[in-house]
Amino acid sequence: MRKYFGTDGIRGEVNVPPLTADFTLKLGRAAALNVLNNNKDDKNTQRKILVGKDTRISSYMLENALVAGICSAGVDAVMVGVLPTPAIAFMTKSIRADAGVVISASHNPYYDNGIKFFDKNGYKLADSVELEIEELIDFSTPVKSDQHIGKAFRIETAIGRYVEFVKQTFPKAYTLRGIRIVTDLANGAGYRVCPMALEELGAEVIVLNNEPNGMNINKSCGAVYPENMSDMVLKYKADIGISLDGDADRVIFSDSLGNIIDGDKIMGICAKDMLLDGTLKNNTIVATVMSNLGFEKSMNDAGIKLIRSAVGDRYVVEEMLKSGSNLGGEQSGHIIFSDFNPTGDGIISALQLLKVMRRTDKTLTELASTITLYPQILKNVLVKEKVPLDKMVKTSSLINDIKHRLDKRGRILVRYSGTENKLRVMIEGERQGQIESYAEEIIASINEEISTTTND
């Protein structure tokens, strides 16, 4: 069991252990020592770790602590400033760094933050490597000789390099001229690069929430609140809406009618297009256990195999590598086009969808209508502590009873969030009213068995 790392790095409230400045310094040193330990056969090469961040006010404090820790172990720290999480994956590989790290809590509010690592190829670290780093945190010490202390320096061109990279994923045969796009940038890490890429490809871009002040990231905006984007799509008569989360690794869309289009439908649209184009490897895609049953049926009907993984884009990537597939993702909008980037990238996902619209000359409404989803409800129960589900006897029994009632005409999944103190209740079925009733039954049972605060 990992002590500090969760499903997506280390995440929590800032200045509350473990996410303090002194811990972050130790973490940076431990990560640097892990790099050195894994490169003992080549002691003549100066090692380097790339460091990026989102727009949270605490990201600057944690950046300084992390860089100090890295340099204290004799490894160079290369800072690129505010950039999306997928840009850190790209830049780590591009500059031949030994690892990359991004300071971000993704869609969480500003008072939270997190630290996520990438290996030299831009992949998130395996659980075993995170365990190695954890073992070094409490027992690492600085190097004794000042001549071995690492240097810290910045790459000022990182923004332009990333924008050019994402633009290259859009075919040169097409432009975005004539397309009006509403973008909700969540006051986050994509606030500069996303509109820049879209405008340089010719789109007319209407920008929302692109004035970060350190405390407004994800505040009633971005991918967690896509209704804001869809309302503006209707107001400005746009062709499509694009809503990123705080670190721009996930994206939710709106069609021109204001309908919210989630990750399942986007994966389905792109998978079918790639199948016709002959670029969908092994005719297979990977989605998580949260993805809609109707989405899976639509894929199977199209001749596409769907493999399910645990929740978390890192686990999607693991299954993609095992199955040799090049498309996977989550209903929440993490979509991985591994031919371009080995992690979820909201801007690349948007460009791939726009490519399908251009190539087929169809609206997003028309494309989305080919993917039929079952009614689904997702409820979150905020909890003070994560009581194991098998300890909740009444709730576990009720869940099994509802599974029996649904039979093969639906499914239920109850799981704790890997990044927040939330118990997620997801139910799918043929009738909306029925699954809503089932969800209320389960939440009432949970409230009886464990101490809760607020539901949403």
Instruction: State the pTM of this model.
Output: 0.89
Q: What six digits make up the tokens of 362?
A: 């169809």
pLDDT classification of 391: cutoffs 50, 70, 90: confident
The confidence score (pLDDT) of residue 232 equals 98
The values of phi and psi at residue 165, to 5°, are -60, -50
Q: Provide mean pLDDT across the span 85-113.
A: 97
The confidence score (pLDDT) of residue 31 equals 97
CB crowding 395-418: b at 16 or more within 10 Å, else e: bbebbeebeeebeeebbbbbebbb
DSSP character at residue 126: P
Q: Provide mean pLDDT across the span 153-157.
A: 95
Residue 118 to residue 344: CA distance in whole angstroms: 13
Q: Of 65-69, 289-293, 451-455, which range is least confident?
A: 451-455
pLDDT at 239 exceeding the cut of 90:
yes
pLDDT at 146 exceeding the cut of 70:
no
pLDDT at 454 exceeding the cut of 50:
no
pLDDT classification of 108: cutoffs 50, 70, 90: very high
Q: Does the bond joining 171 to the residue before it have cis omega, within 30 degrees of 0?
A: no
Considering the candidates 58, 72, 106, 243, report the single residue annotated as catalytic.
106
Q: What is the DSSP string of 234-298?
A: HHHT-SEEEEE-TTSS-EEEE-TT--EE-HHHHHHHHHHHHHHHT-SGGGEEEEETTS-HHHHHH
Digit-coded pLDDT (tens) for 39-97: 988 878 999 999 999 999 999 999 999 999 999 999 999 999 999 999 999 999 999 99
Residue 449 to residue 443: CA distance in whole angstroms: 10
Nearest to 133 by CA among 13, 237, 220, 33: 33
Question: Are the C-beta atoms of 308 and 289 separated by less than 8 Å?
Answer: yes
Nearest to 194 by CA among 409, 350, 365: 350
- Percent of the chain past pLDDT 90, that is, above it, reads 82
pLDDT classification of 456: cutoffs 50, 70, 90: low
The confidence score (pLDDT) of residue 449 equals 86
Decide if 106 is catalytic: yes
Digit-coded pLDDT (tens) for 125-145: 988 999 999 999 987 677 777
Question: How high is the mean pLDDT of the chain?
Answer: 94
The confidence score (pLDDT) of residue 199 equals 98
Q: Of 102-111, 335-344, 402-411, which range is least confident?
A: 402-411
Domains and CATH numbers, the chain: 10-156 (3.40.120.10), 162-259 (3.40.120.10), 261-368 (3.40.120.10), 376-455 (3.30.310.50)
Q: Provide mean pLDDT across the span 285-312.
A: 94
Digit-coded pLDDT (tens) for 168-220: 999 999 999 999 999 999 999 999 999 999 999 999 999 999 999 999 999 99
Q: Provide mean pLDDT across the span 356-381.
A: 94
